[in-house]
Amino acid sequence: LASANVHCNAQSLTIKNRNGIALMSRPMSAFASLRFSEEVRLALDAKKPLVALESTIISHGMPYPQNFETAIEVEKVVRDNGAVPATIAIIDGQIQIGLSQDQIRDLAKLGRNAVKASRRDLAVVMAKKQTGATTVSATMILAHRAGIPVFATGGIGGVHRGYETSMDASADLTELGRTPVAVVCAGVKSILDIGRTLEFLETQGVTVATYGQTLDFPAFFTRTSGFKSMLKIETPKEAAELIAANHAVDLQSGIVFAVPIPEADAMNDTLVGEAIDLAIKESNEQGIFGKESTPFLLKRVNELTGGNSLKSNIALVKQNASVAAKIAKDLSILIM
Ligand code: PSU
Ligand code: MN
């Protein structure tokens, strides 16, 4: 960018290379629609590393008050590892990049009364001035708009079991195919069809890496799923180099870094498996479908496994936040 020209007027912002070819052009409204917290704005101005965090995990992924406590602790983990957290949500129709503690608490208390907002819901929540918790797909879009290339969460959505009749595949997967943000997660919960999820990601052109010593693709509560990633990444620097290369060729697609849950926090395969099978059976019996499906299954698995799955969930989210912060730090060294 050192030799690039930035053209900016009231309508649009365009970046041209030294030959006058537009590398990027965006309407100004795309930037004007974002509101930044003071901490995030200062970090962006100072070109500090940032980590985007989603908010559906707060409203629909965990019960109150653990959701609030976890969201605050996750932000702290990001700071302790040298990056600035940017939790993203829509408050009364306003996109907010970086939330105050009060805003996080409100969202945590609102829980499932907040709108679960994926790509298709974004404009609706804004137009109707609602409060929306952003899923992985919506958070990726907004993180990208804000110029934050690294994002940490628990688990991404995927292809649901029974896809052959329901055609239920998360918008997270298509978003990964079209938005260049690296998502650090603990893999995919086995409430989903993990094999088909990986096939879908391959079709979408998404690079899927295990962050660790083996190729095993993790299944959220457990360190293995029986499936493999296409590569393993062992250091933050290696991850940063992969992200930088993705940007260098302007792929416009995302990357999944799947971090296996810490050994000590991993759950017993059979116990989680039984809880998940029962939860899916109940959701079928109750005719749960569409955007209600994932929150229902998350809640039932939490209930059926007692506090255990919630404990594991919290541990893995924190680990993902620390990995993402380290990657963001190394990436900021590479691309600055
Ligand atoms: N998986 C989890 N925890 C979560 C989610 C998924 O283990 O909180 C949330 C994320 O916000 C994800 C969304 O983006 O659910 C996917 O929902 P759906 O399957 O309806 O696309
Ligand atoms: Mn769905």
Residues 6+ apart with CB under 8 A from 316: 154, 186, 220, 259, 261, 262, 265
> Which one of 70, 139, 156, 179 would you pick to mutate in the ligand 1 pocket, going by the greatest count of ligand atoms within 8 A of its CB?
156
The pLDDT score that the predictor gives to residue 38 is 98
User: Do 58 and 85 contact (CB within 8 A), yes or no?
Assistant: no
Question: Using one digit for the tens of pLDDT, what is the confidence trace for 274-287?
Answer: 999 999 999 999 99
DSSP designation for 306: T
User: Do 111 and 167 contact (CB within 8 A), yes or no?
Assistant: no
Phi then psi for residue 151, to 5 deg, are -140, 130
The pLDDT score that the predictor gives to residue 4 is 64
Ligand 1 centroid–CA 220 distance in Å is: 12
Ligand 1 centroid–CA 135 distance in Å is: 6
User: Do 187 and 217 contact (CB within 8 A), yes or no?
Assistant: yes
| Pocket of ligand 1, beta carbon within 6 A | 54, 56-57, 60-61, 118, 135-136, 154-155, 157, 170-172, 189, 220, 291, 294, 298
Which residues of the chain register pLDDT less than 50? none
Radius of gyration of the chain from Cα atoms? 19
pTM of the model: 0.95
Residue with tokens 């940032």: 50
Calculate ∠ Cα 96-99-104, nearest 5°: 120
Q: Which percentage of the chain shows pLDDT scores above 90? A: 88
Quote the crossing angle between the two packed helices 171-178 and 194-203, to the nearest 10°: 30
Q: From CA 297, how far away is CA 189, in angstroms rounded?
A: 10
Sign, CA torsion 83/88/94/99: negative
How many Cβ atoms are within 10 Å of 226's Cβ, its own excluded? 11
Residue nearest to atom 21 of ligand 1 (CA): 170
Please count the CA atoms within 13 angstroms of the CA of 107 that sit on its side-chain side.
Answer: 36
220 CA closest ligand 1 atom index: 7
Ligand 1 centroid–CA 90 distance in Å is: 17
Hey, which residues are catalytic here? 54, 189
The pLDDT score that the predictor gives to residue 192 is 97
Q: From CA 230, how far away is CA 254, in angstroms rounded?
A: 14
The pLDDT score that the predictor gives to residue 20 is 77
How many Cβ atoms are within 10 Å of 127's Cβ, its own excluded? 9
